[in-house]
Amino acid sequence: MKILVCVTSVPDTTTKITFTGNNTKFNKAGVQFITGPYDDYALARAVELKEKLGASVTVFNVGEADAEPVIRKCLAIGADDAIRVNAEPIDAYFVAEQIAAVAKETPYDLILMGRESIDYNGGQVHGIVGEMLGIPSISPVMRLDVEGTTAKMTREIEGGKEDIEAQLPLVLGCQEPIAEWKIPNMRGIMTARTKPLKIIQPAGQDSLTAVANYEMPAPRGAVKMIPADEAETLIKLLRTEAKVI
C-alpha cells in the first residue's frame, strides 16, 4: 500500500498576522510556521497504517524552501520520504493540480490530507483532487480502517455521523479523532535528516485567482454586562446594537 499525505505549512495560531504590499501579501517576517493541525491527524493515521499494514508513506507539500522544517518534522514522525513542489501555494486549484500531477505519475492507494488548512480554511483541495483523478473524495473523515482494498470510515455529517465503505484508491480529508498527534522522538529527528526529500517544479497552469486585498477583523468592542433578571434589556440590545436577532 502506498499513502500520500499532503501537508500545509501554516502560521502558528499564536502568531501576530501582518500584511505587506498595500495589504495584498502575507508578511512572513518573524512568523513561526507549523504543520496544519488537521494535516497532523492525517499523517498520524498514515503512520499507524504503515505500522499495521506495512504501507509506505510519502509526505507532499506545495511550498517554498522555508517549508522544509515542517516537512522534516513529518519525516521525523514516521513518513518514509517527501516531495516538495517549489512554488507558493497560491490557491486551492493550483495546489490540487500539483497533487494530481504527482499522483498520476505515481499512483497511490490513499491520498490523505486535513479537512482544511487553518490559514484559508477553504476545505476545497481534497474534492478537486478527487475530481482531477476520477476517484472518490470523502471528508471530513473521523475514523479510517483498511481491510484489503476496502476502506471503512466514519465521517461527520449534519447532526451526526455516517459509517461508510469505499474501494481504494481514495482521497480523504481528515479530522480528529482519526488518530492522536504524534511527537517525533530523538531517533526520528536524526533519521529524518537523511530521508529523501525530492524537490520538483510546479506543473500545469498558474493560479486562477489573485488576492485583491487582505483585511484584519474588526477589533473587539466593549462588553456590556446585563443582570440576569433584565432579559428584556438584553433582547433589546441584541436587536438594536448587536443586530443578531
Q: Confidence class of residue 154 from pLDDT cuts 50, 70 and 90?
A: very high
Separation CA 153–CA 163 (nearest Å)? 6
Considering 26-35, 154-163, 210-219, the range whose residues carry the highest mean pLDDT is: 154-163
Would 46 be classed as within a structural domain? yes
- pLDDT score, position 177: 94
241 lies in some domain:
no
Query: Quick check: is 14 in a domain?
Result: yes
Q: Which domain holds residue 176?
A: 2-215
Tell me, yes or no, whether 242 lies in a domain: no
Q: 13 falls in which pLDDT band (50, 70, 90)?
A: confident
Grid cell in block for residue 142: 473521523
In a domain, 230, yes or no: no
For residues 44-83, one letter each, b for 16 or more C-beta atoms within 10 angstroms of the residue's C-beta and e for the rest, the string is: bbbbbbbeeeebebbbbbbbeeebbebbbbbbbbbbbebb
Position 244 in a domain: no
**pTM score:** 0.84
Structural domains of the chain, count: 1
Q: Would you state the pLDDT for residue 146?
A: 96
Q: 132 lies in a domain?
A: yes
57-89: pLDDT as tens digits = 999 999 999 999 999 999 999 999 999 999 989
Give me the CATH number covering residue 84. 3.40.50.620
Span 206-223, mean pLDDT?
A: 82
Tell me the range of 8-12, 96-100, 156-160, 222-226 where mean pLDDT is highest.
Answer: 96-100
